[in-house]
């Protein structure tokens, strides 16, 4: 759940020579890297799209499409555009080195390569990849709360829906909106409002599993994306969250201030057919509006378009989800 940037360590080798693959595997294993390989350009492109490796070692002379063309296609595709590429060149010609670098490669290694040099160039490329990963992650974080932001929620919602469809697993979404947040801001000031937002973020982090994703997607709006969660499990999380937010108090000008939140729940299991990210989001949003209309500080669930209020006592008796996974 908490954002962490792992060390990039997955290398894809695209080369038509078996002996070159074996050599690279021996050399890069010494760096603790995971190496996968493909023997031609087309297979390499497909593998890059599917695996999103941290680094691609790309031969120029390939039997089908040449390395320059593979590079061009990888740089054209938004899914693979940012993957660093090191060219493996069989020639010492300046032209081909320059052409490779201009196509977006980060470096080149001339074959036959010296293993010490190969390893150093790979290490250098992966160091830069890590910085790139950190920067990318920063752009998906909410500065105030440290939770994921709207852009990341949209992206993850899409990818988790794909996973949920492929493996036929349910995906739950809980939307959380702090009640009368504008009044809190007006009465106690925006700095206090920020403290409340941070407190609600802490409550959400505390209630989520590692595999759940928590985001702040608007001013006082939060979301929890629950992977492999049935509607029942989502209801349970929602009620725990609601109670946990209600139970917090914030000190403002010597008085103790509490806030409540309204929550809307939807789950792919309980929506008909192949649903889109937008449909899942709208289903939870409709439930959230129903919770507001019903007087706030409650959870509503959207079960195939049928809205109903969650009974706190009943939800509390549901079996707890494992926190270990």
Residue ranges binding other proteins (CB under 8 A): 16-17, 19-20, 22-23, 26, 29-30, 61, 88, 90, 111-113, 115
Q: Which is nearer to other proteins, 44 or 193 (CB)?
A: 44
Tell the smallest beta-carbon distance from residue 47 to other proteins (Å): 21
Tell the smallest beta-carbon distance from residue 15 to other proteins (Å): 9
Neighbours of 297 (CB within 10 A): 18
DSSP string for 90-112: S---HHHHHHHHHTT-SEEEESS
Which is catalytic among the residues 38, 160, 220, 239? 220
Q: Which is nearer to other proteins, 3 or 90 (CB)?
A: 90
Tell the smallest beta-carbon distance from residue 38 to other proteins (Å): 16
CA dihedral 151→153→154→156, nearest 10 degrees, is 120
Residues 312, 25: Cα–Cα separation, whole Å: 56
220: annotated active-site residue: yes
Q: Which two tokens stand for residue 127?
A: 């160091």
CB 188 within 8 A of CB 247: no
Neighbours of 314 (CB within 10 A): 11
Phi, then psi, of 171 in degrees rounded to 5:
-130, 125
Residues 129, 55: Cα–Cα separation, whole Å: 8
CB 226 within 8 A of CB 237: yes
Q: Which is nearer to other proteins, 30 or 323 (CB)?
A: 30
Q: Which is nearer to other proteins, 76 or 114 (CB)?
A: 114
Residues 22, 26: Cα–Cα separation, whole Å: 6
Q: Which is nearer to other proteins, 92 or 325 (CB)?
A: 92
Tell the smallest beta-carbon distance from residue 37 to other proteins (Å): 14
Residues 112, 99: Cα–Cα separation, whole Å: 20
Active site residues: 220
């Amino acid at each position: 759940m908490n954002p962490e940037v792992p060390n990039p360590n997955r290398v894809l080798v695209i080369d038509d020579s078996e002996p070159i693959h074996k050599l690279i595997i021996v050399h890069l294993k010494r760096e603790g890297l995971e190496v996968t390989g493909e023997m031609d350009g087309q297979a390499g492109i497909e593998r890059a799209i599917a695996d999103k490796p941290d680094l691609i070692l790309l031969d120029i002379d390939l039997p089908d499409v040449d390395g320059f063309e593979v590079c061009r296609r990888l740089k054209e595709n938004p899914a693979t555009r940012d993957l660093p590429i090191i060219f493996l060149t069989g020639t010492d010609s300046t032209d081909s080195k320059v052409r490779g670098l201009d196509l977006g490669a980060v470096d080149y290694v001339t074959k036959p390569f010296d293993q010490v040099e190969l390893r150093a160039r790979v290490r250098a490329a992966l160091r830069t990849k890590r910085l790139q990963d950190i920067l990318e992650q920063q752009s998906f974080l909410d500065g105030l709360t440290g939770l994921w932001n709207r852009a990341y929620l949209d992206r993850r919602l899409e990818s988790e829906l794909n996973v949920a469809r492929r493996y036929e697993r349910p995906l739950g979404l809980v939307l959380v909106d702090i009640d009368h947040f504008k009044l809190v801001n007006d009465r106690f000031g925006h700095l206090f409002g920020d403290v409340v937002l941070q407190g609600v973020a802490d409550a959400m982090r505390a209630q989520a599993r590692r595999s759940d994703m928590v985001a702040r997607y608007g001013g006082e709006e939060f979301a929890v994306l629950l992977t492999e969660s049935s509607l029942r499990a989502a209801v349970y999380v929602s009620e725990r969250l609601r109670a946990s937010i209600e139970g917090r108090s914030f000190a403002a000008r010597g008085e103790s201030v509490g806030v409540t939140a309204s929550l809307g729940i939807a789950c792919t299991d309980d929506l008909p057919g192949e649903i889109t990210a937008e449909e899942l989001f709208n289903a939870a949003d409709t439930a959230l509006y129903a919770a507001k209309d019903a007087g706030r500080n409650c959870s509503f669930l959207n079960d195939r378009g049928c809205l109903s209020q969650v009974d706190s006592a009943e939800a509390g008796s549901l079996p707890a989800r494992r926190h270990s996974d």
